[in-house]
Chains A and B, each alone.
Chain A
Amino acid sequence: MNKLIIIKYGELTTKKGNIKLFIKTLKKNIEVALKDFEYKIEYDNGRMFIFGEELEKMESRLEKVFGIHEIVIGYEFDSIDIEDLKENLKDLIQNEKITAFKVRTKRSYKEYPLTSMEVSRILGGVVLKTIPESIVDVHDPKTFVDVEIRMNKSYIYLDGKSGLHGYPLGVQGKGLLMLSGGIDSPVAGYLAMKRGVRIEGIYFESPPHTSEAAKEKVKTLTQILSRYSGYIKLHVINFTEIQEAIYKNIPKEYLITIMRRMMYRITERIAHKNNAKIIVNGESIGQVASQTLTSMSVINAVTNMPVIRPVACLDKLEIIALAKKIETYETSILPFEDCCTIFVPEHPVINPDLSLCEEYEKLVDFETLLKDAIKNEEVVTIREDDKKFEDLL
């Protein structure tokens, strides 16, 4: 008997054509997540099997890997004989608390003499006999007893833990996430990652108007997000000159619109440079003046790159619930000024006019400023296990 982790794939099993790439990517991501452990990994088109010592600890790491439907700690047996299966199941469940249950049998070895139904029925009898308080309930079971029969191995396991679902990170290529430090953008990043998009971050700082603390906060948020990917590259753009130029030259009510247009321009160029195919951000329809539909279209007009807004249609409370789930909320609500909160006019335009924007932008040589900002970008790679001050602590 071998104790092991069985991984059931998520949505990827429906993607017939790409399944090999999906599984390979998932395997690579799992290897990153389990880099601190000794283990052996085997897989086929239906399951992944992980053998090792510290299964429980590994399991908790796997809970942060996208593309996994379910993670189960189960047992592998060398015999597929029904009498052995009965014995093995009896041994395994002896100390379990089982009430309403259902046995599910999967037989990938089709020459097996019994049908799945027959195996389930026989093994259900074993459960009933071993645990007096158990009852069969095929409609609303509290416990699933899963049995899988392969050519020369069988597997038995009880309930597993739900995985993160989604696609393996990276199968969809890369996106550049605009991170502000607020509640929405980390959630947007998480949701994009869930669909298999590897994320790099871009953050606009405006010292001395924004503080070192605000930047640290964004780095902390990036580190929390990196739990799902191992590492995240963060591009820090010094936005001070552009922001001051806007403040000095542009009518107040258009400050935010033009500022966002500049940010989009920089983001698009950084994305191109880093092979990212999309821009991801935390805009939510109607939340602030720059997120009305008109504002969005005027701001979006500066780029042809797809801009994915995963939280666009969520209510604030729904976004907050997700932020709490991924543990970014507590950091996001730390009160530091960011680029979008300084120089905020009292009455920003909510229906900006595109041609006016274009006129205003001619007032300053923004192209030079944009190039300078991009040239001076600071790039940091933030890792999940980065420990600060390791030498001192």
Chain B
Amino acid sequence: MIYLDYSATTPVSKEVLDSYIKVTRDYIGNPNSLHSLGMKSNELMKSATKQISEVLDIKTEEIVYTSGATEANNLAIIGYCLKNTRLGKNIVVSKLEHPSIYGICDYLKTQGFTVSYVENTKEGLIDFEDLSKKVTAETILVSIVGVNSELGIRQPLKTLRQIIKKQNENTVLHSDLTQAIGKVNVNLHDVDLASISGHKIYGPKGIGMLYKSEKIQIQPIIHGTEELRSGTPCLPLIIAFSKALRLAITNETKNESVVKLLNDKLTATIAKYPKIMINKTNYSIPHIFNLSLMNIKPETFIHALEKRDIYVGSNTACAKGEISSTIMAIYGDEKRANTSLRISLSHLTSFDDLNKFLYSFDIVYNKLLELGWENE
């Protein structure tokens, strides 16, 4: 099997899975129980949280465990907006967000909020000038994805926050860092709220976290106890997440250099196909390689590769079959947006795998091209 869809999800690494299994088996106590079993679980959980706070250079009180990035996005944006309506009722988002952000915006519109969409440049960077215009006295929150999931465009969060604060110092910045953590160096102090997911960093599915700066207030979206996120803590997932995060961040530089070499090879080879458009800007990170087939339907292409035990993604796993909003936002070309493939790389990808993929890619591409499917 050749797996090249790491931005959709990653396999759980062995040492992370080992921890998950051990904790599931040996730490049966509820961390909130009074007895020693609960105590032991609680100690373990505190140690995991402490480790996360150290790895991310934040405080333990700034960590809220969630079921994943989508829930973290909900808690961050809805939780902040509902708590701070007295400050205003406008939010600003980019056109490069994960679909869950737009879903949240739709919900907030039903609650009387207005949503502004900030423009981006041709390179995919947020347009600084437009951002200055869109952030008004009414704007309470801006949400901008740290690394875009389709083209891997990385935003200068620190600068964006400075621009935002200059317009309105009460406005907070949320960033979905799902595709950024473990791939590029991020500083959580550049944002006020950030969403992180476990399963994109070789951790299990079903766990993520919200970073919430201690300086701001949000309200829960799941109600139960006085906690921001009620419910019995899922200890095995939290431990596995903490370990995955530590491994991802400590090995980030090393892994990134491997991926960069793979990306160079991929780019050089795909560039030789005259009809294929490569969707890449100067700000794309090497882990994500996006191309538009133009004359071939991507679903067909994906299934044809699958027959050869090769797995790649379409625009994003979370918006199957829809036109790519990111490619539209950057290139404004519908055909290009309709025929994109996403190949996402990992330090686990070998050059041998990449060569085998390129070999199959060539065969499948030429064969499907001959059929002459015309994109409507």
A211 interface residue, CB < 8 Å from B? yes
Which A-B residue pairs are the 10 nearest by beta carbons?
Answer: A212-B36, A392-B19, A212-B39, A388-B47, A389-B47, A213-B39, A393-B51, A389-B44, A393-B243, A392-B239
Q: In angstroms, how far is the closest chain A Cβ from the Cβ of B51? A: 5
Q: In the complex, what distance in Å separates the CA atom of A216 from the CA atom of B36?
A: 10
Q: In angstroms, how far is the closest chain B Cβ from the Cβ of A179? A: 19
Q: A211-B34, A392-B239, A393-B47 are contacts. A216–B19 as well, Cβ < 8 Å?
A: no
* Proximity string of chain A (380-393) to chain B, C-beta cutoff 8 Å, 1 when within and 0 when not: 00000001110111
Q: A211-B34, A212-B36 are contacts. A388–B246 as well, Cβ < 8 Å?
A: no
B48 interface residue, CB < 8 Å from A? yes
Q: In the complex, what distance in Å separates the CA atom of A387 from the CA atom of B43?
A: 12
Inter-subunit contact A392/B243 (CB<8 Å): yes
Q: In the complex, what distance in Å separates the CA atom of A391 from the CA atom of B44?
A: 11
Q: In the complex, what distance in Å separates the CA atom of A337 from the CA atom of B35?
A: 14
Inter-subunit contact B39/A393 (CB<8 Å): no
Within 8 A of A (CB), among B35-56: 35-36, 39, 43-44, 47-48, 51
Contact of A393 among B34, B36, B239 (CB under 8 A): B239
Q: In the complex, what distance in Å separates the CA atom of A211 from the CA atom of B22?
A: 25
Q: In angstroms, how far is the closest chain A Cβ from the Cβ of B16? A: 10
Q: In the complex, what distance in Å separates the CA atom of A389 from the CA atom of B39?
A: 14
Q: A393-B51, A393-B239 are contacts. A216–B43 as well, Cβ < 8 Å?
A: yes
Inter-subunit contact A388/B239 (CB<8 Å): no
Inter-subunit contact A393/B43 (CB<8 Å): no
**Most interface-central of A211, A212, A389 (chain B CB within 10 A):** A389
The residues of A with any CB-CB pair to B shorter than 8 Å are 211-213, 216, 387-389, 391-393
Assuming A211-B34, A389-B47, what are 19 further A-B pairs, CB within 8 angstroms? A211-B39, A212-B35, A212-B36, A213-B39, A216-B43, A388-B43, A389-B43, A389-B44, A389-B48, A389-B239, A391-B19, A392-B19, A392-B22, A392-B23, A392-B239, A393-B19, A393-B47, A393-B48, A393-B246
Q: In angstroms, how far is the closest chain A Cβ from the Cβ of B204? A: 14
B284 interface residue, CB < 8 Å from A? no
Q: In the complex, what distance in Å separates the CA atom of A216 from the CA atom of B246?
A: 25
Q: In the complex, what distance in Å separates the CA atom of A110 from the CA atom of B242?
A: 60
In the complex, chain A residues whose CB is within 8 Å of the CB of B48: 389, 393
Q: In angstroms, how far is the closest chain B Cβ from the Cβ of A268? A: 31
Q: In angstroms, how far is the closest chain B Cβ from the Cβ of A53? A: 19
Q: In angstroms, how far is the closest chain A Cβ from the Cβ of B43? A: 6
In the complex, chain B residues whose CB is within 8 Å of the CB of A212: 35-36, 39
Q: In the complex, what distance in Å separates the CA atom of A171 from the CA atom of B246?
A: 41
Within 8 A of A (CB), among B1-56: 19, 22-23, 34-36, 39, 43-44, 47-48, 51
Q: In the complex, what distance in Å separates the CA atom of A216 from the CA atom of B47?
A: 13
Q: In angstroms, how far is the closest chain A Cβ from the Cβ of B220? A: 24
Inter-subunit contact B243/A216 (CB<8 Å): no
Q: In angstroms, how far is the closest chain A Cβ from the Cβ of B148? A: 31
Q: In the complex, what distance in Å separates the CA atom of A84 from the CA atom of B34?
A: 69
Q: In angstroms, how far is the closest chain B Cβ from the Cβ of A391? A: 8
Q: In the complex, what distance in Å separates the CA atom of A389 from the CA atom of B23?
A: 10
Q: In the complex, what distance in Å separates the CA atom of A391 from the CA atom of B243?
A: 10
Inter-subunit contact B39/A216 (CB<8 Å): yes
Q: In angstroms, how far is the closest chain A Cβ from the Cβ of B44? A: 5
* 10 A–B contacts, CB within 8 A, in A order: A211-B39, A213-B34, A216-B43, A389-B44, A389-B47, A389-B48, A392-B22, A392-B23, A393-B47, A393-B243
In the complex, chain A residues whose CB is within 8 Å of the CB of B246: 393
Q: In angstroms, how far is the closest chain B Cβ from the Cβ of A69? A: 31
In the complex, chain A residues whose CB is within 8 Å of the CB of B51: 393
Q: In angstroms, how far is the closest chain B Cβ from the Cβ of A125? A: 43
Q: In angstroms, how far is the closest chain A Cβ from the Cβ of B45? A: 10
Q: In angstroms, how far is the closest chain B Cβ from the Cβ of A334? A: 11
Looking across the interface, which residue of chain B has its beta carbon closest to that of A213? B39
In the complex, chain B residues whose CB is within 8 Å of the CB of A389: 43-44, 47-48, 239
Within 8 A of A (CB), among B51-76: 51
Q: In the complex, what distance in Å separates the CA atom of A391 from the CA atom of B23?
A: 11
In the complex, chain A residues whose CB is within 8 Å of the CB of B36: 212
Looking across the interface, which residue of chain B has its beta carbon closest to that of A388? B47
In the complex, chain B residues whose CB is within 8 Å of the CB of A391: 19, 22
Q: In the complex, what distance in Å separates the CA atom of A391 from the CA atom of B242?
A: 12
Q: In the complex, what distance in Å separates the CA atom of A389 from the CA atom of B22?
A: 11
Q: In the complex, what distance in Å separates the CA atom of A393 from the CA atom of B243?
A: 5
In the complex, chain B residues whose CB is within 8 Å of the CB of A392: 19, 22-23, 44, 239, 243
Q: In the complex, what distance in Å separates the CA atom of A216 from the CA atom of B39?
A: 9
Q: In angstroms, how far is the closest chain A Cβ from the Cβ of B33? A: 11
Q: In angstroms, how far is the closest chain B Cβ from the Cβ of A291? A: 30
Looking across the interface, which residue of chain A has its beta carbon closest to that of B236? A392
Q: In the complex, what distance in Å separates the CA atom of A27 from the CA atom of B22?
A: 43
Looking across the interface, which residue of chain B has its beta carbon closest to that of A390? B47
Q: In angstroms, how far is the closest chain A Cβ from the Cβ of B239? A: 6
Looking across the interface, which residue of chain A has its beta carbon closest to that of B48? A393
Q: In angstroms, how far is the closest chain A Cβ from the Cβ of B241? A: 10
Within 8 A of A (CB), among B233-253: 239, 242-243, 246
Q: In angstroms, how far is the closest chain A Cβ from the Cβ of B83? A: 26
Q: In the complex, what distance in Å separates the CA atom of A212 from the CA atom of B40?
A: 9
Q: In angstroms, how far is the closest chain B Cβ from the Cβ of A122? A: 45
Q: In angstroms, how far is the closest chain A Cβ from the Cβ of B37? A: 9
In the complex, chain B residues whose CB is within 8 Å of the CB of A387: 47
Q: In the complex, what distance in Å separates the CA atom of A387 from the CA atom of B44?
A: 11
Looking across the interface, which residue of chain A has its beta carbon closest to that of B44? A389
Q: In angstroms, how far is the closest chain B Cβ from the Cβ of A190? A: 22
Q: In the complex, what distance in Å separates the CA atom of A360 from the CA atom of B243?
A: 57
In the complex, chain A residues whose CB is within 8 Å of the CB of B23: 392
In the complex, chain A residues whose CB is within 8 Å of the CB of B47: 387-389, 393
Q: In angstroms, how far is the closest chain B Cβ from the Cβ of A386? A: 11
Q: In the complex, what distance in Å separates the CA atom of A211 from the CA atom of B242?
A: 28
**Most interface-central of A216, A388, A393 (chain B CB within 10 A):** A393
Q: In angstroms, how far is the closest chain B Cβ from the Cβ of A380? A: 15
Looking across the interface, which residue of chain A has its beta carbon closest to that of B23? A392
In the complex, chain A residues whose CB is within 8 Å of the CB of B34: 211, 213
Q: In the complex, what distance in Å separates the CA atom of A392 from the CA atom of B19?
A: 5
Q: In the complex, what distance in Å separates the CA atom of A388 from the CA atom of B242?
A: 14
